[in-house]
Amino acid sequence: MPSISQRTLGLGTEHAFVVLAEVNRLIDDGRDIISFAIGQPDFPTPPTICEAAKAAIDTGRHGYTPSAGIPELRRAAAAFLSDSRGLAYQPEDVVVANGAKPFIMYTILATTDHGAGHEVLYPTPGFPIYESQIRAHGAVPVALPLRERNGFAFDVEELRSRLNEQSRLLILNSPHNPTGASLTAADLAAIAGVLRDYPQCWVLADEVYSRMVHNGEFASIASQPGMAERTVVVDGASKSYAMTGWRLGFAANRLLAPYFSTWVTNTDSCASAISQWAAVEALTGSQTVHRAMMESFSRRRELILGELASLEGVQVTPPGGAFYVWPNVTALCRRAGVENAEGLRRRWLHEAGVAVLADSQFGTPVADEGHHVRFSYATGDAQITEGIRRLRHWIQALG
């Protein structure tokens, strides 16, 4: 029997989809489950965007496109990124892909060499695909802990202590999945100050939640002096326009854009032509529905924070952005007699009919930080209220 590569056997996954499959099995078995597990807007894609996709089909725009994306979308994305980051991106600086996720791979491949000991620093807890892709492409993963006492922002001195001559890439995610933390301009200025001593280190700024900042203003490290040239800014349509299944993201960096385009040619040829035309409408058309969605997330944030405050043994750091809450459940784990957040997650799912994600599903939990779970409030008000009511009843039943 032919063998399977160690690279494949060691490949990580995105646990939200694993839990989603578990939830769907229970629902198929007749269980009533309220899910806070998946980071997906519960709104339909706005009608004007759907109409643009239909028009693309009806007018025959369904063949291959340039690997970097159609010129209309590259122009629209460059204008959006320039306006929102206070920079001057050109269309040729932008590359389009099937979602924002491929740019994790493309950036690691473009900035590190396999087996050369090049290091990539990434946040933990964090999006699990970061570490998975770092390992898969032969770089060295270096975890940067996000601590509750710092509001889940990087400790600049911890960052400094982990940087060295082998550091080739720093991954920043703000607003952050899973904690909802949002880095301020002051935070980013401090990080940029440290990076000036390491000119060989690129930055991947994963900013797919850039439109979802609830406190203050969105800030990008690319806007810091001298950082645009060495920063890959990644954004997309999935979260802001309820287009997760359309698979459309984009990234900007003047030097790396041609290499990203070559990687797209080597992997996917190009993003879906129909999704690209839909994204042009998303970025350039009416923003009325988009703004209403963003306002709903801010309102739901207030609702879920108020509801979670009623749960004994649950301590919440209010998130600054995205649509996630990352409460500390250490005291509740002790009370329930479970070893960790994963044990609590399983009991909530099977005993209370409520699905969340555990901290272990976002990397190895940070030592001495206690136990956490992630709630996604990308769901309706009634679902939020009923889900927390079930958990309140479950906790009260512990005695």
Radius of gyration (C-alpha) of the chain in whole angstroms: 21
Q: What integer pLDDT is reported at residue 152 of this predicted model?
A: 94
Cβ neighbours of 32 (radius 10 Å): 9
Q: How many helices (H) and strands (E) in the chain? A: 14, 12
Angle at 343 between CA 305 and CA 366, to 5 degrees: 70
Residue 230 zone, left/alpha/beta (φ > 0; ψ -120 to 50; rest): alpha
Q: Could you tell me where in the chain the CATH 3.40.640.10 domains are found?
A: 61-284
Q: CA 169 from chain center: how many Å?
A: 17
Q: What integer pLDDT is reported at residue 12 of this predicted model?
A: 85
* CATH, domain range 61-284: 3.40.640.10
Q: What integer pLDDT is reported at residue 399 of this predicted model?
A: 75
The Cα–Cα gap between 322 and 365 comes to 21
Whether 345 and 373 have beta carbons less than 8 Å apart is answered as yes
Q: Could you tell me where in the chain the CATH 3.90.1150.10 domains are found?
A: 6-44+289-396
SS3 label, residue 369: coil
The Cα–Cα gap between 244 and 249 comes to 10
Fold type of domain 6-44+289-396: Aspartate Aminotransferase, domain 1 (3.90.1150)
Task: Give, in order, the Cα–Cα distances in Å from 320 to each of 179, 187, 210, 297, 377.
Answer: 9, 13, 11, 12, 13
Per-residue pLDDT of the chain (399 residues), as tens digits, is 999 998 898 888 777 788 888 888 988 989 999 999 988 899 999 999 999 999 999 999 999 999 999 999 999 999 999 999 999 999 999 999 999 999 999 999 999 999 999 999 999 999 999 999 999 999 999 999 999 999 999 899 999 999 999 999 999 999 999 999 999 999 999 999 999 999 999 999 999 999 999 988 999 999 999 999 999 999 999 999 999 999 999 999 999 999 999 999 999 999 999 999 999 999 999 999 999 999 999 999 999 999 999 999 999 999 999 999 999 999 999 999 999 999 999 999 999 999 999 999 999 999 899 999 999 999 999 999 999 999 999 999 997
Adjacent-strand bridge partners of 375: 325
Q: What integer pLDDT is reported at residue 27 of this predicted model?
A: 87
